[in-house]
Amino acid sequence: MESTSVRLRQARTNRGWSQPRLVRELRDAAARRGHQLPAEASVKRRIASWENGHSVPDDFYGPLLCDAYSLSAAELGLNHESGRETSLLDVSYPASPDDAIEVVGELWRADLNRYEPLLQAEPSEPAWNEASLRWLVAPEPAVPRQRRDGVRVGLGDVATIKTTADMFAELDDRFGGDHARYAAIQYLSTEVAPLLRGQYTEQVGRALFSTAAEATLLAGWMSYDACRHGLAQRYFLQALRLAQDANDRRLAGSILSAMSHQATFLGRYTQAATLARAALMGISPVATPTLRAQFHAMEARALARTGDVRACEAALSAATKALESRNTADEPEWISYFDEAELAAEAAHCFRDVKSARRAVEHAENAMSGSHVRSDFFATMVLADAHLHAGDVEEACRVARDALDLGEQLKSARCVSYLAEFRQNLAAADTSAEVQIFTEQVRDHRLWIASGEHAGV
């Protein structure tokens, strides 16, 4: 393995940088963190010492080098940091606000630098249990520590994060999680991480933590949609801790709901139902009708997969009643997407999973919002599945063609998995002329090709 000195020298020379150029880059990186470096000659002596193997960067200069080169500590051979890099594979709930800031920053940076062990990590079921319990029994939210270094942060900075995250959320919805995920992580790592490490009042700190939690939740959703499940789980956990310290219980409940959604997708149905119930319990004093509706719907999705039809229908009924009583003016802006069409889509999934094809068709036909491309793709594929289960192969193929046309621009591993499941069901159900015509018509669709690879066809 190459020595740290060789890696550091190659990182500089591969970019065609002189040592004075590296000094400037380090100075810029330090400024973003609210620090100042000594005179140029002093920093150049340090660089020469590192690259000649006479010393290694300390805890101050190591992160600055990572920022300057956009490389992880492991990639630069900084052994005193590589243990921390490895610890990213340990899934645990942060013990304090400072821990959350440190860990989420490391996650963003490792993700940005494509740290493969993290990208390929598997989710941990005990981590869901620990996080939900720790959040439910948490004492009063910790006040973000008053810092004396770093950039000064105001509410304008928080508003900028919110606006930027909303832009990425729109791209995610329209083009799928794999479209702009890397760009979103780059923004979080380079722009948001320094703000979390900056100077802010308690009021600004609460707002900053809440907005950063929402943005990290989005990173989790995008990673989940890309089927980076261990990474997504880690983002959800960090988002939950940030929301806890922001005293934003509604957002925290929504994060548990996202965990439930992922757990159902991964086949952890009992755990998924527990997470949805924890969300309901944890925000009961501040719950809104739309949030209650969504959490009941997540519980129903999990119960449908367990085959508990009665409990599933009861949860769906509770979701419907809750949504009927909502007042949109009193709801958090980020839950506004969950409307009658979204609830119909969740119900369609449920009835498909309990093999009630007629009711699945009925709800899926009411689930097309026209404004959420990926959600409409999922609902259309559920409708195709429902027709297939009802024995109407021709209609199933027609609807699946519509879904493929709708999803032509989507870069979503979850969408591919829906298609792969449909292909398997279609192959098992029928080999008629209609199926042959259909497969010939869609053979060149990008998502169809990917679904064949996913299913091993």
The answer as to whether 327 is a domain residue is: no
The answer as to whether 328 is a domain residue is: no
Burial 41-55 (b: 16+ CB within 10 A, else e): eebeebbeebbeeee
Q: Is 83 in the same domain as 103?
A: no
Q: Is 28 in the same domain as 172?
A: no
Q: Which of 87, 106, 123 is the last residue of a domain?
A: 87
The answer as to whether 54 is a domain residue is: yes
CA 371/CA 382 separation, integer angstroms: 18
61: containing domain: 4-87
Q: Is 215 in the same domain as 116?
A: yes
pTM exceeding 0.85: no
Q: What is the pLDDT of residue 431?
A: 67
Residue 190 is given by DSSP the state: I
Task: Pick left, alpha or beta for residue 176 (phi over 0 → left; psi -120 to 50 → alpha; otherwise beta).
Answer: left
- Could you tell me the pLDDT band of residue 372, with boundaries at 50, 70 and 90? confident
CA-based nearest residue to 335, from 281, 298, 370: 298
For 126, the token pair is 């005990």
Q: Is 61 in the same domain as 104?
A: no
Q: Is 49 in the same domain as 118?
A: no
The CATH number assigned to the domain holding 63 equals 1.10.260
The answer as to whether 372 is a domain residue is: yes
Q: Is the pLDDT of residue 80 over 50?
A: no
Whose structure tokens read 């506004």?
A: 336
CA 433/CA 431 separation, integer angstroms: 7
Q: What is the pLDDT of residue 91?
A: 84
Torsion angle of alpha carbons 327, 332, 337, 341, nearest 10°? Answer: -30
The answer as to whether 38 is a domain residue is: yes
For 47, the token pair is 């660089």
Q: Is 394 in the same domain as 269?
A: yes
The answer as to whether 144 is a domain residue is: no
Q: Is 72 in the same domain as 25?
A: yes
pLDDT one-digit tens code per residue, 19-34: 999 999 999 888 887 7
User: How far from 419 is each of 51, 288, 452, CA to CA, in Å?
Assistant: 52, 35, 9
Q: Is the pLDDT of residue 187 over 90?
A: yes
Q: Is 173 in the same domain as 32?
A: no
Query: How many domains does the structure of the chain reveal?
Result: 2
**Per DSSP, which regions of 121-206 are E strands?**
none
The answer as to whether 56 is a domain residue is: yes
User: How far from 128 is each of 79, 226, 231, 261, 299, CA to CA, in Å?
Assistant: 30, 20, 13, 12, 15
- Could you tell me the pLDDT band of residue 2, with boundaries at 50, 70 and 90? low
- Could you tell me the pLDDT band of residue 1, with boundaries at 50, 70 and 90? very low
User: How far from 301 is each of 258, 342, 344, 373, CA to CA, in Å?
Assistant: 12, 13, 12, 21
